[in-house]
């Protein structure tokens, strides 16, 4: 599908075979989500293309782009994560910035105002991994702790509540995470022991704990 230019080749024509993204020859990571895609370049810049209704391309506009546009002011990215209408990047300093839709506080800057350019996630200066989402995002910290922010109606922030948070809150009891992943209204982490814990929505048993009840704190994936 290429209705919004999400193939990045300067056209809006669908293609059943691979087409080259215009002008991009130094990508070291890509993050596709919904109707847009972002790429981290070797030098630390980030470019995005496709739909831009909420500023998710990060170029200061809300105009769709059929070819890559540079994310404003971001030159030291070491990781980029995207989902639907929100994008986040981890900087070399371990700070995290996000841009795009923010109706649930998923930019983590203490507001609910959308931003078409990167804004700093409040109080986060030691991130070593990020997982960005359309309703909530999480970061793994250097200590092994995990913090999350944004929508929390199913407990997907893991802080023992179902209250939305506009800035990061610590996931309860998780201090030894080695990896994180975020799904639709739930999150998971891999621990140093090799165990997996998940929290949030469980209507389809996505927490893996032999239950279908939501959990606002991490629960062990059964038998893993």
208, part of any domain: no
4, part of any domain: yes
Domain range for residue 33?
A: 1-134
102, part of any domain: yes
78, part of any domain: yes
Indicate whether 55 pLDDT > 90. Answer: yes
Whether 139 and 96 have beta carbons less than 8 Å apart is answered as yes
pLDDT digits (tens, 9 = 90+) for 85-108: 999 999 999 999 999 999 999 999
197, part of any domain: no
Within a 10 A sphere around the Cβ of 213, how many other Cβ atoms?
10
Strand order in the sheet with 115-120: 77-83, 86-91, 96-100, 115-120
198, β-bridge pairs: 188, 219
Instruction: Work out the pLDDT band at 194, boundaries 50, 70, 90.
Output: very high
What pLDDT, on the 0 to 100 scale, is given for residue 68?
A: 98
CATH of the domain at 61: 2.130.10.30
Which residues lie below 8 Å from residue 149, measured CB to CB, with a gap of 6+? 105, 106, 108, 121, 136, 137, 138, 157, 165, 166, 167, 168, 169
52, part of any domain: yes
pLDDT digits (tens, 9 = 90+) for 120-148: 999 999 999 999 877 999 999 999 999 99
127, part of any domain: yes
Number of domains comprising the chain: 1
Indicate whether 33 pLDDT > 90. Answer: no
28, part of any domain: yes
């Amino acid at each position: 599908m290429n209705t919004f230019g999400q193939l990045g080749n300067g056209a809006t024509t669908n293609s059943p075979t691979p087409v080259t993204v215009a002008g991009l020859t130094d990508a070291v990571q890509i993050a596709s989500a919904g109707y847009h895609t972002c790429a981290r370049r070797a030098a630390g810049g980030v470019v995005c293309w496709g739909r831009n209704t909420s500023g998710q391309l990060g170029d200061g506009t809300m105009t769709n782009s059929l070819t890559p546009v540079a994310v404003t002011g971001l030159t030291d990215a070491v990781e980029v994560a995207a989902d639907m209408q929100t994008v986040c990047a981890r900087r070399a300093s371990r700070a995290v910035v996000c841009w795009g839709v923010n109706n649930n506080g998923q930019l983590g800057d203490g507001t609910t105002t959308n931003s078409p350019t990167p804004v700093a996630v409040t109080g986060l200066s030691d991130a070593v991994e990020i997982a960005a989402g359309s309703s909530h995002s999480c970061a793994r910290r250097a200590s092994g702790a995990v913090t999350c922010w944004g929508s929390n109606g199913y407990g997907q922030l893991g802080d023992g509540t179902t209250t939305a948070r506009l800035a990061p809150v610590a996931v309860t009891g998780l201090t030894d995470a080695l990896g994180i992943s975020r799904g639709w209204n739930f999150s998971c982490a891999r621990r140093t022991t090799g165990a997996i814990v998940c929290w949030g929505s469980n209507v389809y048993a996505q927490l893996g704990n032999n239950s279908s009840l939501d959990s606002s704190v991490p629960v062990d994936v059964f038998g893993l």
